[in-house]
Amino acid sequence: MSRTEKKTTETEAALRTYVLSVMVNNHFGVLTRISGLFARRGYNINSLTVGETQDERISRMTIRGVGDDHTVEQIKNQLSKVEDVISLTELYPTDAVFRELYLVKVAANDENRAYVLQIAGIFKAKAVDVTDSTITFEVSGDGEKLSSFYDNMQKYGILEMARTGLTAMKRG
């Protein structure tokens, strides 16, 4: 292995997925400032959800990305300097609940409808729209469950899919 190949492999191995829960003041321009910070520094956001908390003056931003430890620390340091950031927590699967929601429109005709509904039942997916040729399901859960649902429905024909970003909350 050449020196360049070894360096690339070591760099790739250091990358990890991170999830940040950021409590911010709920007013105009905060999302722009936060996303602008990521853009200016060349950091990609894989998933971003924002919504009011139990206090309408505060919103929770859940940000998922990929980076090495140094990059994640830089992001956390930069975010903590933003005036509207109230608190910032990195969440881990061992101490947090992660969920996402999919809407999946599946081809469903007379021949396969029963099978499609049976699979949906296994995943506790809810039919939210039904036509002669399609069924649209709402399914929520962790990434593994949603990927498995998607894979199982793919053989029947996924016509359309929409997904929320990841949302998360610390346990306890």
pLDDT of 11: 54
Residues with pLDDT less than 70, the chain? 1-13
Residues 30 and 70 in one domain: yes
Query: N- to C-terminal Cα distance for the chain?
Result: 47
Residues 82 and 104 in one domain: no
What backbone phi and psi angles, to 5 degrees, belong to 120?
-60, -40
Domain that holds residue 26: 3-91
pLDDT of 13: 52
Whichever domain contains 84, its CATH number is: 3.30.70.260
Q: Of the residues 48, 65, 91, which one is the last residue of a structural domain?
A: 91
pLDDT of 102: 97
Residues 133 and 72 in one domain: no
DSSP assignment of 48-65, as one string? EEEEE-SSTTEEEEEEEE
Q: Of the residues 91, 115, 138, which one is the last residue of a structural domain?
A: 91
pLDDT of 150: 97
Total domains present in the chain: 2
Helix 69-80 and helix 30-41, axial crossing angle in degrees, nearest 10: 140
Q: Of the residues 28, 58, 91, which one is the last residue of a structural domain?
A: 91
DSSP conformational letter for 14: H
pLDDT of 6: 46
Tokens describing residue 33:
């400032």
pLDDT of 66: 96
